[in-house]
Structure formats: C-alpha cells, structure tokens
Amino acid sequence: MLPKQKSLRTNFLIKLTAATVVLEFFFSAIFYSYISYSVDNELKESMMKQARYLFATYHDVAKALTDKKGILQTTLKVKARIASLPNEDFRAVHFRTFHQKKRYYLEAYFPYEFALQRYLILTADITKQKQVQNKVTRGIIAMNIFGMVGILIYAFFLSGMLIAPIRVFSRKIAMMNENKLSPLNLKGVPDEFLPLGESVNHLVGRIQNFLNYKKELFVGTAHELKTPLAVIKTKSQVALLKRTRRTEDLVGALEQNIRSVDDMNKIIGSILEFGRAEGAQFEEPESLDVTEFLREMCEEFSLLAVQEKKELHCRLNPERLTVTLPRLLLRQIIQNLLQNAIKFTPEGKQIRMFSYRKQEKLYIKVRDEGNGIEENLDLFAPFKRSSESTGAGLGLFLVKSAADALRAEITIKNRRDGKGTVATLVLPIGT
C-alpha cells in the first residue's frame, strides 16, 4: 500500500472513531438521563401518593404517626415523622437524596404546620433502585466499548474495500504514458466509484484526442507552411535564372511571393486563433441563459447573412434555459457553425438554426442549403477541409476541441434531402 493510501486509511479510521465516540457518548448520556429521570420521578410520585394518603386519612397526622407508627411503616414501606425545621425556608414540597452506611435514601418534605414550620418527612430506602441504575450504567459503558470495537473492526475492513478501487485507479493511472493511454476497466468496481471511473475514462479520452489532434496539428502546420515556402523558393530561383531579368518577370515573381506569404499568414493566424481558443477552456464557468445567448447570436449573424444576400431564420426552444458553462467556448462553437453555414450557402438561399430540449440535453442545429460535405473526410481534424473551402482548416478543429471541453457532442452530416448539411451540437444541461 502506498504511503498516501495508508494515510488516507488512517485518517478515515481516526475520523470514524472520533465520530463514533461522540455519537455513542451523546446517545448514552440521553439514555442514562432518561432512565434516571424515570426512576427518580416514579419514586417521588410514589412518596407524593403516600403523603396525600396520610393527609386524607388522618386529621391529626402527628398523632397517627405516634399511635400507629409500626402499622404505617409496614403499610407505607417508608419512615414517616413530623419535624420542626426552624432554620429552613418554609416552602412547597421538596426532595433530597443522601448516602449513609452504603445505603441510599430519598427524603420528601411536605409542609404540615406553617406557624411552627413543621414538616411531614418521609424517608425511603432507594438502595435497590440505585443499584439498578448503576448496573444500567455499567451495561451502557460495556455496550459502548463493544460497540466501538465492532465499529473499528467494521471500519477497518470497510476502509480496505473503499481504498481498493482507488488503489487500482492509482496503479493504472501511474502506469499510463502519452504513447499508451487506455480507459480503465470498470468491471467489478463498486457502484459508488463508477462516476469516478467514468470521469477518469472521459479525461483519458480527452487526453487521447488532444494528443492525436496536437500531433496532426504539428504535422499539418509543417506541411501547410512547406508548400508556400517551396513556391517562394521556386519563384525566386526562376527569377534569378532568367537571363533577361525583365521588370515584368521580377514583378510577377514578387507578386507570387506576396500571395504565398499571405497564405502563410492565414495559416499562422489560424494557429494563433486556435491557441486563444485553447485558453478559453480555462475560463470560469458562469450562469448563462442559453436560449437568450443563441437569440443574440442569431440577431448578430442575421446582419451578416443579409449583407451576403442570404437569410438566417431561428426557432429556439425552450423560452428560457439557464446552464453553467464557459460563455466563450459556446460562442466559438456557434460562431464557427454559423459562419460556415453562411459561407457555403448560395445567394438567395436560407440558413436555419433551431434548438430544443430532450431529457437532460439541449440540441442545437444549424442547417444550410449548400452543396454538402464529403462524409468520408474527417472535417474535425486539423487542416482537413472540403474541396470548396478556402480556409486553413482549423475552424472545425476548434469547434471539436471546445465541444469536448463542454462534454458536448458535435456532428456534421449531409441533409437527408441532399440540399445541404446540418450541424448538431448536443449540450448536456444536467437537472
């Protein structure tokens, strides 16, 4: 077992033991207090009944106690006497408990003659009741000790069961490297740890995609930059080799070089835009009304569509839907989808964006009336673009990265009627 896992198990046992001691002490104190209160209350109520009996039966209680002392003591099972207590405050009935010669007694004081400050005093031997209370106390203590031992044994095995999946996760994660990533096998994992395992697997999947796309990005960048550089070199060499070196030839070569440099700038600009988009994944999530956000973007891109003699229509449901997520990531996705839809839709045609909720997911769809896509082409890979595209091919790569960060699904397919494409973003919205 690793040191951190030992520490985790030790902390778990210490905290569980502390919690158990506190709870057992609390409930034991309540239980003991309830028993003591019930016994004491019953004894006091019994002596109250005996006092009421004496006052109701005998007009002169003092004389009755003298004449029938033995009978009353046998009948009542208490010692009764009348005593003057001049130093005591004459007050209502009160009780006191005292200990004498290993015996316990309860005395009850009942006002008898106010002028003489005389009391009827009943004294009962409560040794047996106290012994019962003491046995109950010892029983509670013994029960607590055995209970704590049992809980510690249970906690020891429980902590082992809880830490076992963590140990498996730790070992598998520690053995991972960037060249050999594989999802964790969740077979046999307790149900309580399944969400953790699924989260780890989701993270592993994202890391795999990230590494694969990054490799493609680096290779693609080198390939894309190599082409214009080769053109610049070739044009420059041809211009130098020509003997005439006419001004027109030199101007043509320079113009071609400038176009090649512009192409390189576009590629570099797209890479920089992707870098800024990657930084957006660390943006703090905020509470966002997604429907209102989509409505604002629809109004914004409607103006762009009108400028290009196209129409953008939106039908958004539900009326309001608040979700916590990074605003910039969602904007990057919707912005790219709308830009592509407007770009590839011919003049006089329409683009439609609509949304609807299904269970705990929000579906956002952007439908255009373009010529469709090459479905055998991975459009989400870096520098992958259709034959009609003039961009660097990083827009949809950016969309896929942002969707992964939101745990969303993104697909682009040709419409069933063959009149364009439909891009679908499935956004988890929780409860």
Top mean pLDDT of 18-32, 231-245, 267-281, 301-315 is at: 301-315
Q: Is residue 368 very low, low, confident or very high in pLDDT (cuts 50, 70, 90)? A: very high
**Mean per-residue pLDDT for 249-272?**
73
Beta-bridge partner residues of 322: 289
Quick one: average pLDDT of 84-96?
72
Q: Identify the residue with better confidence: 154 or 351.
A: 351
219/298 same-domain check: no
Q: Kindly report the pTM of this predicted structure.
A: 0.49
Token pair listed for 80: 């009764």
Contact call for residues 143 and 124 (beta carbons, < 8 A)? no
**Cis peptide upstream of residue 318 (ω within 30 degrees of 0):** yes
Q: Is residue 88 part of a domain?
A: yes
In a domain, 157, yes or no: no
**Do residues 338 and 374 both lie within one domain?**
yes
Domain end among 147, 171, 190? 147
Residue 156 forms part of a structural domain? no
Q: Name the β-bridge partners of 355.
A: 316, 364
Shared-domain flag, residues 414 and 293: yes
Which structure tokens are listed for 56?
Answer: 């109701």
Which residue range(s) make up the domain with 276?
212-280
**Which of these three, 253, 280, 307, is where a domain ends?**
280
Say which residue the tokens 């576009």 belong to: 266
Cα pseudo-dihedral 399, 403, 409, 414, rounded to 10? -10
**Res 295 pLDDT > 90:** yes
Using pLDDT thresholds of 50, 70 and 90, give the confidence band for residue 59.
Answer: confident
pLDDT score of 73 more than 80: no
Average pLDDT over residues 198-213: 74
User: Is the pLDDT reported for residue 367 higher than 90?
Assistant: yes
Residue 55 lies in a domain: yes
Q: What is the pLDDT of residues 135-157, one digit of tens each?
A: 888 888 888 788 777 777 777 77
pLDDT of residue 2: 45
One domain for residues 300 and 259: no
pLDDT of 188 above 50: yes
Helix (H, G, I), strand (E, B) or coil at 341: helix
Q: Using CA atoms, how far apart are residues 128 and 134, in angstroms rounded to an integer?
A: 10
| 292 in the same domain as 268 | no
247 is written with which tokens?
């001004």
Q: Among 11-15, 18-22, 350-354, 374-378, whose mean pLDDT is lowest?
A: 11-15
- Whether residue 396 is predicted with pLDDT greater than 90 in this model: the reply is no
pLDDT of residue 311: 93
Q: Does the pLDDT value for residue 413 go beyond 50?
A: yes
Domain boundary among 125, 147, 169: 147
Confidence at 221, pLDDT banded by 50, 70, 90: low
